[in-house]
Amino acid sequence: MNIKKLSVLVSAVALLGGLASTSQAQVANGPWSSWSPSYNTQTSGSGSISGTTFSLSSSSSSGEHRAERRYVSFSSGSRQFEGTVRVNSLGGDRICLKQTFQDGTGPWNMIAVKKPGSLYEVQGGATLAGYTIGNSVRINTVSYTGSQKVVVYINGSQVETITGGTLPFYDKLGAYRTNSGNGPVSVTWSGIRFWQK
C-alpha cells in the first residue's frame, strides 16, 4: 500500500472514531456524547441474573424479589439511557423493568409491565404504552439534573415527564416485584447505551 492510500485510510479511521465518541442519541436534542457508567448487580429473594436476562422464580406476593443492575449515581448535566427490553414470560403480574432513582430518597420513575398487556408508571398507575409479552420495546429515559426532571420515551415517542426529583439520580434495570406484583418472570435487556451532555 502506498503512502497516499495509507494516509487516506488512517484519516478515515480517525474520522469514524470521532463519530463513534459523539454518536447521536435516539431521542432529545443534542449534541450528546457516549457515556459508559459502571454498575453493580443486585439480587434478593428469588431473583437471579444470567448475562442480561433477569428472572424472578417465586410467585409470592410478599417479600423483596429482585434481579437488577444499579448504575452509578450522577448529579450534574443531562444523562440519557437507552435499552431494548423483552419480557420473555410473565407468569405473575406488575413487574418493574426500569427505574430512575433518587439516591438516598427512593424510586422516582418506575416503568413496569402488567397483564393483559401494557407498560405503566408505578407511581400513579398511568398507562405508558400497550405491550405484548414476548415482543421487544425500546425505552429511553432522559434525566435533567438542572431542572430535576426525567422524560420517558417508548419506541421513540415521548410518553411521560416527571418533575421534582432530588439529586443525585441513578438508573436501574432488570426485574423487580412491585408492592402489588408477583413473579415468576423472565426479562432480557439488550442494546443498553448511555449518553451525556
| Interval 115-169: pLDDT, tens | 999 999 999 999 999 999 999 999 999 999 999 999 999 999 999 999 999 999 9
Residue percentage of the chain with pLDDT more than 90: 86
Average pLDDT over residues 190-196: 98
Beta bridge partners, 194, equal: 35, 81
Q: In this predicted model, which residue has the larger pLDDT, 21 or 84?
A: 84
* Span 17-52, pLDDT tens digits: 444 444 567 799 889 999 999 999 999 999 999 999
Element (H, E) at 159: strand 157-163
Domain 25-196's class? mainly beta
Domain layout of the chain by residue ranges: 25-196
pTM for the model = 0.87
Spatial distance between the Cα atoms of 72 and 51, rounded to a whole number of angstroms:
19
The values of phi and psi at residue 2, to 5°, are -80, 170
> What is the pLDDT, as a whole number, of residue 26?
77
* Cβ contacts of 118 within 8 Å, gap of 6 or more: 127, 128, 129, 130, 131
Q: What is the pLDDT of residues 85-120, one digit of tens each?
A: 999 999 999 999 999 999 999 999 999 999 999 999
Instruction: Quickly state the pLDDT bin for 2 (edges 50, 70, 90).
Output: low
